[in-house]
A = this chain, B = another copy of it.
Amino acid sequence: MDENKKISIAVIKRLPRYFRYLSDLLKEGIERVSSKDLSERMGITASQIRQDLNNFGGFGQQGYGYNVKSLNVEIGKILGLNHGFKAIIIGAGNMGHALANYPNFEGRGFEIVGIFDVDPDLIDTKTNGIDILSMEMLDGFVKNNKVDVAILTLPYQFTREIAEKVVALGIKALWNFSPMDLKLPGDVVIENVHLSDSLMVLGFRLGKLKS
C-alpha cells in the first residue's frame, strides 16, 4: 500500500465491515470469495468492493476472487489490529463497566489499562481485573503508562472538560460516548458513538412502518 495515499473516510469506515464479513466467512470455512458473492452478502456493489480494496493494492485475482484468509489478515494489518494501543476508561458507571468487560478490545488492538471515576464506592475496586482509580490519580497514571486512548463514558456536562484535560496530558485518541460531536483542536483523533441517534432512527423507521 502507498503510505502517502490519502484514503477517504468513507473507505476507512467500510474496512471494519470487510474485516467482520471476512471473519464470518472464515468461521464458515469458506476459503475464497468472489467480489460478486461478497457484494451480495455485504449489500454493496462488487465494483465498490474492487475500488475500495484497490486503495490498498488490490488483493483479488481475475477469475479466482479473493483468498478469504489472506484478505482478512491484510485488512487486519491495515486496520492496525496488532497495534496494542493502551486505553483508559473515564467514568465507571454502567457504560464504563460494560466497556471494561467488552470482550473485543484485544482482538481489535486495544488493551484497557485503567478506569477512573470520582465515586468513592467504586475507587479501589476492580472490574474484569482492571483497577478503578480516583480521578486524582489520572495525571500521574497517564504520564507513567504511555496511554494512547481515553474512552469517555462521562456525564454530558463533564465530557468536554475532561476531554480537554486528557488531550493536554498527551492522549491522542478519544472514544466518546456522550451525546455530543466532540471536536478539539490539534492532532486528536475522535470517534463519537451516538447510541441515542441510532435509537431515534429506529423509532422513526418503526413509526413509519406502523403508520
- How many chain A residues touch B (Cβ–Cβ < 8 Å)? 59
Task: Please judge, given known A-B contacts A16-B194, A98-B97, A98-B98, whether A149 and B108 are in contact too, CB under 8 Å.
Answer: no
A193 and B189 contacting across the interface, CB-CB below 8 Å: no
For the complex, give the distance between the alpha carbons of A109 and B196 in Å: 11
A201 close to chain B: CB less than 8 A: yes
Interfacial chain B residues near A105, Cβ < 8 Å: 199
Interface residues of A in 93-125 (CB under 8 A from B): 93-95, 97-98, 100-102, 104-105, 108-110
* Interface residue? A168 (CB, 8 A): no
Question: Is B200 in contact with A19, judged by CB distance below 8 angstroms?
Answer: yes
If over half of A's interface residues share one DSSP class (helix, strand or loop), that class is named, otherwise mixed; here it is helix
Q: Are A16 and B196 in contact (CB under 8 A)?
A: yes
B residues less than 8 Å from A17 (CB atoms)? 181, 194, 197
Known pairs A15-B204, A109-B203 / 15 extra A-B pairs, C-beta < 8 Å: A12-B201, A17-B194, A24-B180, A80-B203, A80-B204, A85-B203, A93-B101, A94-B100, A104-B195, A104-B199, A173-B209, A175-B202, A187-B209, A189-B209, A191-B205
Which residues in A have some Cβ–Cβ distance to B below 8 Å?
3, 12-13, 15-17, 19-20, 24, 42-43, 78-81, 83, 85, 93-95, 97-98, 100-102, 104-105, 108-110, 148-149, 172-173, 175, 179-181, 187, 189, 191, 193-207, 209-211
